Chain A
Amino acid sequence: MSVMRRVSLIFRAKANKALDRMEDPRETLDYSYQRQLEMLTQVRRGVADVATSRKRIELQMNKVRQDQNRLEGQAKQALGASREDLAREALARKAALQSQLTDLENQYHSLQADEEKLVFASQRLQAKVEAFRTQKETIKATYTAAEAQSKIGEAVSGISEEMGDVGMAVQRAQDKTAQMQARAGAIDELMASGALDDVTGTPRDDIQAELDSMRGGQSIELELQRLKGEIGTGSAQAIEGGAPAADGAAQPAPAEQPQAGEGA
């Protein structure tokens, strides 16, 4: 049998189960209405969860951009101090952050789309719940239990289909936000540990640095050229107007030379 037909039959079976549950079909109306209100609450909670997740990712994106700016500032200062090795390292880290930023941006757009869909779904359900409430009161006032049967069947299966649809959307959004929260948590930890940013801080895994520089090698060369050009035209300005981390990077030599110093 066709896909379209089979899916709709499964939805209808669900609705019929709800209808069979009550002895007086009019009770089904109240039962269904209760479920609708619960579902509305659930969708709204879903929207709020997705929005929270999206905002968290936005904050991380801002932090990564700040880090990139700071690393570029450090690279500039390192070049000003004729420490091309250090500038290269800073730019490698900046390049490594770029893939993270791209990943965050993708997540952000995906959550934004989910949020819009859920908002529409909740508006649609809201309109249907209101229509159902009106119809429910009319049916209760106008028909006897026996007469009401078919009217109720129609209204209940129409809205129970909507609830199935919305229910799936909410479930999907919740699964996805849970996954993203976990990833966001991992990135927060990485950022907090400082592993991603400070050139003058703790030394990073050498192999990883090597890999990163291979991946970002070409763009780093280009950026080095660009920065050299900038410094060539106004070096004094570039160094004095440096980034917040100016103190650490303006005298980069000590960070790289403790071993040599110890031996002497």
Chain B
Amino acid sequence: MIVRILGEGQLQVDDSASAELNSLDAALETAVTAGDEPAFRTALLALLDRVRALGTPLPADALEPSDSILPRADADLDEVRSMLTDEGYIPG
């Protein structure tokens, strides 16, 4: 599967990693829903670290859409929340 980290680019990650990434993603979602900033930061960084460790960067001229997209490491909680609800947030 292809995962994009916003601000960093796309990575090819083997499908076998799905279960691990999904559980990290679930922790992230819980933290966002709870509005728990420290838990949110920890969960986001853990997920990004795993994706970076497991993934291989796609070539710059690749045109494939991503299967999953992740916020950038320094995104704040409100930003991610509005990203999940407000379509107008993303330009283009």
List A residues at the B interface (Cβ < 8 Å). Answer: 2-8, 10-15, 35, 39, 117, 120-121, 123-124, 127-128, 130-132, 135, 154-155, 157-161, 163-165, 167-169, 171
Shortest Cβ distance from B90 into A: residue? A164
Contacting pair B61 A128 (CB below 8 A): yes
A3 near B61 (CB under 8 angstroms)? no
Known: A13-B87, A161-B4. A4 touches B64 (CB 8 A): no
Contact-residue bracket for chain B:
20 to 34
A-side interface mostly:
helix
Q: Which of B47-91 contact A (CB under 8 A)?
A: 59-71, 80, 83-84, 87, 89-91
Contact A10 B70, CB 8 Å, known A135-B63, A159-B63, A165-B7 = no
B29 touches A7 (CB 8 A): no
Residues of A within 8 A of B87 (CB): 10, 13-14
Contact B92 A14 (CB under 8 A): yes
Task: List 22 interface pairs A-B (beta carbons < 8 Å), by A numbering.
Answer: A3-B25, A3-B29, A3-B84, A4-B21, A4-B25, A4-B69, A7-B84, A8-B66, A10-B89, A10-B90, A11-B66, A11-B69, A15-B65, A123-B60, A124-B9, A131-B63, A161-B66, A161-B69, A164-B90, A165-B7, A168-B90, A171-B91
Q: Which residues of B contact A (CB under 8 A)?
A: 3-4, 6-7, 9, 21-22, 25-26, 28-29, 32, 59-71, 80, 83-84, 87, 89-92
* With A4-B21, A14-B92, A160-B92 already in contact, 18 other A-B pairs whose C-beta atoms are closer than 8 Å: A3-B32, A4-B68, A8-B68, A10-B84, A10-B87, A13-B87, A39-B92, A120-B9, A121-B7, A131-B61, A132-B63, A154-B64, A157-B65, A158-B62, A158-B63, A158-B65, A164-B90, A167-B90
Tell me the minimal C-beta distance from B21 to chain A in angstroms.
7
What is the chain A residue whose CB lies nearest that of B6? A165
* A123 proximity list for chain B (CB < 8 A): 60
Residue ID in chain B nearest A117 by CB atoms: B7
Report chain B residues within 8 Å CB of A130: 61
Q: How would you classify the secondary structure of chain B's contact residues: helix, strand, loop or mixed?
A: mixed
Contact at B90–A127, with CB atoms within 8 Å?
Answer: no
Bound Cα distance A168, B71 (Å): 11
Note all chain A residues with C-beta closer than 8 A to B59: 127
Which residue of chain A has its CB nearest to the CB of B30?
A: A3
Contact (Cβ within 8 A) B71 A7: yes
> Which 7 pairs across A and B sit closest by C-beta, in order of nearness?
A167-B91, A4-B68, A127-B60, A158-B63, A131-B61, A163-B92, A8-B69
| Chain B residues within 8 Å of A6, by CB | 84
Q: How far is the CB of B73 from chain A (nearest CB, A)?
A: 11
B21 / chain A contacts, CB cutoff of 8 Å = 4
Most-contacted residue by chain A among B3, B25, B28, B61 (CB, 10 A): B61
Contact (Cβ within 8 A) A2 B65? no
Residues of A within 8 A of B32 (CB): 3
